[in-house]
A and B are shown apart, each in its own frame.
Chain A
């Protein structure tokens, strides 16, 4: 089946620094990738939709200058948390949708990345 990989799985960073999380579709081209944030025991909250070659679309309440998203190729999207604060600590998950027409609207999830800001 389709595979989406996130890196790193775990990251600890100091307050005020920036950290980048990568999301790669390993065996298919993803025109659209989604970034979610999940707090413990809660559901996934959509942060932004990343389209290859264009600017990301952010959900209401998500600061685009703080959570920078780049979708430079059909297999890679990155989320950069800038000037991280402890309240940014969370589980970040990406998902990727195949190029339309090949597998409907099914999305495939990465393994998630745990971010801890100290």
Chain B
């Protein structure tokens, strides 16, 4: 059972375009994290959001936690080929982390 649904599942865009990835759930999470994963490697933490409505920026990446702490979004401005990867959101509840279904991003030069 996937507590967190991500959309879109796949995204292929040209370098320089903007994109948004969504992470939605019917559950409330005390915190939510975004990760990026390369094939054959473990996920790498990008950001942790804790407060409803919180917005965090990491260079060209903007993360937002929904007011009700049930959803989150990741916006990438002027995507680059180096942004290619699998993006995963993960929500923390009941002493466990549950991962979203994942969004595979491919940025073409």
Point out residues on A near B: beta carbons under 8 Å: 4, 6, 32, 34, 36, 41-46, 49, 60, 91, 93, 95, 104-112, 114
Contacts and interface: CB of A to CB of B under 8 A. Distances in A.
B40 A106 contact: no
Chain B interface: which size bin?
20 to 34
Interface stretch (B52-60, B64-72, B98-106): B98-106
Given A43-B86, A45-B99, 9 more contacts: A4-B42, A34-B96, A34-B97, A43-B6, A43-B99, A49-B95, A106-B45, A109-B35, A109-B44
Contact of A95 (B97, B98, B101, B102): B97
Tell me if B's interface is mostly helix, strand, loop or mixed: strand
A111 B41 contact: yes
B80 interface: no
Contacts of B1: 60
Taking chain A's interface residues, is the majority helix, strand, or loop, or is none over half, making it mixed? strand
Given A32-B95, A41-B104, A42-B102, A104 B31 contact: yes
